[in-house]
Chains A and B, each alone.
Chain A
Amino acid sequence: MTAWLERQIPKMVLAPSFVAVLIFVYGFIGWTAWVSLTRSRLLPKYDLHGFIQYKRLLASPRWDTAMDNLFVFGALFIGISMLLGLLLAILLDQKIRVEGVLRTIYLYPMALSMIVTGTAWKWIMNPGLGLEAMVRSWGFESFSFAWVIDPKMAIYAVVIAGVWQASGFVMALFLAGLRSVDGEIIKAAQVDGIPGWRIYSAIILPSMAPIFLSAFIVLAHLAIKSFDLVIALTGGGPGYATDLPATYMYAMAFSRGDIGQAASSAMVMMAVVFAIVVPYLYSELRAKHD
């Protein structure tokens, strides 16, 4: 009996967390999924009405903007962060004496809250007193930089702040990847007389494919969830020009009192995340079993 009890201890230790995850992750996803199929407005209703909320979502110009923004923001944020991160990593990989200091500088934004980042960039990009005013004071009177208040450009302002925050992190990932390439392969290539840039392009970068993938996944994940940055930088505005699905969902849930819309938009967000993450997780877990 005691031996049996002893064998159950590990399960009993894991059980509370497992139950919590079951309820608070899977149960809640189920709840949201259910509610997204009802006519819920201010209060949740539980009788199913098919895809009515999703139809409303598709018909909503605001949601349309949010999805467009997600793709523009996502593509630019991921693309630029990757390129910049890779460039920085390669530059730092050239036996620089002050590498440690530079690395610290490039990476510190990652330690900040997106609210702080948004606040700082909102001030820098402030048309009246920020960069615009500064460049004008240098004599370029016609210089204009008012992205944060321009509905067409505001989303690009969010991209700048996002890249500033996350690119250093991509740099750290890539740098670790560059350093983990088998030194003997590089030596062999050097002995073969292959020039340095060819060693990068033909040997080192291809061997880093998994790191590209990881960086992409992380950035995509950040892009889809990014909420704080938009709130702090533009508040979703001007109008709802910089709305993302995350801010749309929040607005529906907490200011518009439209629970059905909030639930269905959250489900779409989850679908997008899983479309990207699940194949990756699957391959990761499978690779571990081999």
Chain B
Amino acid sequence: MDPILNIKNLSKSYGQLEILQEINVAIDRGDFLVLVGPSGCGKSTLLNCIAGLEPISAGSISIDGRDMTHVSPKDRDIAMVFQSYALYPTMTVAKNITFGMKVRGVDTATQARKLDEVARQLQIEPLLNRRPGQLSGGQRQRVAMGRALVRDPKLFLFDEPLSNLDAKLRVSMRSEIKKLHQSLGATMVYVTHDQIEAMTLATKIVVMKGGIVQQIGTPAEIYNHPANLFVADFMGSPAMNLIPARTRRKGQETLIEIARAEGDPMLLAGPDGSDLPQDIILGLRPEDIAEAGFRSGDRVQAAQCRIDLVEPAGADTYVVSQLGGRQVTARLHAETKAQPGAMLELAFDLAKVSYFAPDTGERLN
């Protein structure tokens, strides 16, 4: 089967300024693609290019096998939800939702039926005769979704749709979007700067920075095998610990040496027979550093560390220690006896470790 959305070698520039460089992404029907990255990374521009709202400088975009590179937005069979919702302020909710069908000349009976369906689905029936100005943020969000749903398009595009909602509403809308995706089986492309949104919603994530794709993969791939330091640091909260270290060879074995604030450097067993360079950066997520005795596995290794800071967070307690000149965070169970200033034996799960080259930032293992 053809990919439903296929972006090939897409580039976009304003004069000298390159906004997007050589983007290649393809997704299948039913995928939930999330474009994630810090602000200014080009993710929204890419979405606008997919929608046809902005012209591209090179490359091609095809939707469901049809080349759409130079097709105007209205003929791309897409629907879009905007960050500002972009509801038509002088139209009622019902008119907002049916405007697209009206423009396309859909007969009024069909319009009414579809409006009814969508209103029921999103539970906005009581709002149909109101104007956007009379709605709360969450209600506007629903109407914006309704306007997209009613079109039944090949592709749904979402441009940071939740960023204007308060934290609680954002979480509940997030799961609603996920449910919607599952029940409709629709294909969605979703832009966000929030890595948690990306992780929870996506079937496929594209991490971007400076107009360049950093990594494409499933949430698990991105999380567990970040392709470079940027992805490692950007995805996950608290962020992955990135600890400067040196490798040392001892016969067949490779040892990883990490400076501690006091006493001898810490030595960890490196991967067998690998050819790591001398200077590396070792990446380990906070949950892969546990209190000794609470983590088992054949590559778990314990070491004494001085605890600088203890931050209880309810379900977990985070402790911070100084390793390799960095603040390293470990995620311990809530009942830990860790005390600031005291020593604690921490267990490092080396099966989960990532190695990066300090100069290029690329992943080494």
Mark A residues whose CB is within 8 Å of B.
Answer: 3, 6
Chain A contacts for B72, CB-based, 8 A: 3, 6
Q: List the A residue with the shortest CB-CB distance to B55.
A: A7
- Taking CB atoms and an 8 Å cut-off, the chain B residues in 38-74 that contact chain A are 70-72
- Shortest Cβ gap from A123 to chain B (Å): 49
Measured CB to CB, the closest approach of chain B to A3, in angstroms, equals 5
Closest residue of chain B to A2 (Cβ to Cβ) is: B72
Report B-chain residues with C-beta under 8 Å of the C-beta of A3. Answer: 70-72
Which B residues lie within 8 Å of A6 (CB)? 72
Shortest beta-carbon distance from A272 to chain B in Å: 39
Name which residue of chain B comes closest to A3, CB basis.
Answer: B72
| Distance in Å: Cβ of A10 to nearest Cβ of chain B | 14
Q: List 4 A-B contacts (CB under 8 A).
A: A3-B70, A3-B71, A3-B72, A6-B72
- Give the docked Cα–Cα distance between A167 and B70 (Å): 57
Main secondary structure of the interface of A (DSSP, over half): helix
Q: How distant is the Cα of A3 from the Cα of B70 in the complex, in angstroms?
A: 8
Q: Which residue numbers of B lie inside 8 Å of A, CB to CB?
A: 70-72
Contacts of B70 in A (CB 8 A): 3
Whole-angstrom distance between the alpha carbons of A97 and B291 in the complex?
72
A7 to B: closest C-beta gap in Å = 9
Which chain A residues border B71 with CB–CB below 8 Å? Answer: 3
| Chain B residue with the shortest CB-CB distance to A6 | B72
**In whole angstroms, how far apart are the Cα atoms of A214 and B70 in the complex?**
47
Which chain A residue lies CB-closest to B72? A3
What's the nearest-Cβ distance from chain A to residue B57, in Å?
A: 16
B108 to chain A, nearest CB (A): 27
Complex CA distance for A3 and B67, rounded to whole angstroms: 15
- Give A3 to B68 CA distance when docked, in angstroms: 12
Give the CA-CA distance A6 to B71 in the complex, in Å.
11
Those 4 A-B pairs whose CB atoms lie nearest each other, nearest first: A3-B72, A3-B70, A6-B72, A3-B71
Q: A6–B52 Cα gap in the complex (Å)?
A: 13
Bound complex: CA of A231 vs CA of B298, how far in Å?
102
Q: How far is the CA of A6 from the CA of B72 in the complex (A)?
A: 9
**What's the Cα separation between A6 and B53 when bound, in Å?**
13
Minimum distance in angstroms from B288 CB to a CB of chain A: 47
Closest CB in chain A relative to B52 CB, distance in Å: 9
A3 CA to B71 CA in the complex, in Å? Answer: 7
Considering the chains assembled together, what is the distance between the CA atoms of A17 and B193 in angstroms?
Answer: 42
Q: How far is the CB of B72 from chain A (nearest CB, A)?
A: 5
Interchain nearest-CB distance for B287 vs A (Å): 45
Closest chain A residue, CB of each to CB of B71: A3
Q: How far is the CA of A6 from the CA of B70 in the complex (A)?
A: 12
A96 to chain B, nearest CB (A): 33
- Nearest residue in A to B74 (C-beta to C-beta)? A6
CA distance A107 to B72 in the complex (A): 51
Least CB distance from A289 to B in Å reads: 16
Distance in angstroms between the alpha carbons of A170 and B70 in the assembled complex: 53
Bound: A88/B13 CA distance, A: 54
Closest A residue by C-beta to B52:
A3
The docked-state distance in angstroms from the alpha carbon of A30 to that of B302 is 86
Smallest CB separation, A1 vs chain B (Å): 11
Shortest beta-carbon distance, A46 to chain B, in Å? 42
Q: Shortest beta-carbon distance, B48 to chain A, in Å? A: 15
* A252 to B249 CA separation, bound complex (whole angstroms): 99
Q: How far is the CA of A3 from the CA of B75 in the complex (A)?
A: 11
Bound CA span A134–B70, Å: 80
Q: B75 to nearest A CB, angstroms?
A: 9
Name the distance in Å between A9's Cβ and chain B's nearest Cβ: 12
A113 and B56 alpha carbons, distance in the complex (Å): 54
Minimum CB distance partner of A4 in chain B: B70
Whole-angstrom CA separation of A6 from B55 in the bound complex: 13
Complex Cα gap A162–B70 (Å): 60
What distance in Å separates the Cβ of B104 from its nearest Cβ neighbour in chain A?
16
Query: What's the Cα separation between A3 and B72 when bound, in Å?
Result: 7
How far apart are the CA atoms of A71 and B317 in the complex, in Å?
A: 77
A11 → chain B closest CB, angstroms? 15
B325 CB → nearest A CB, Å: 40
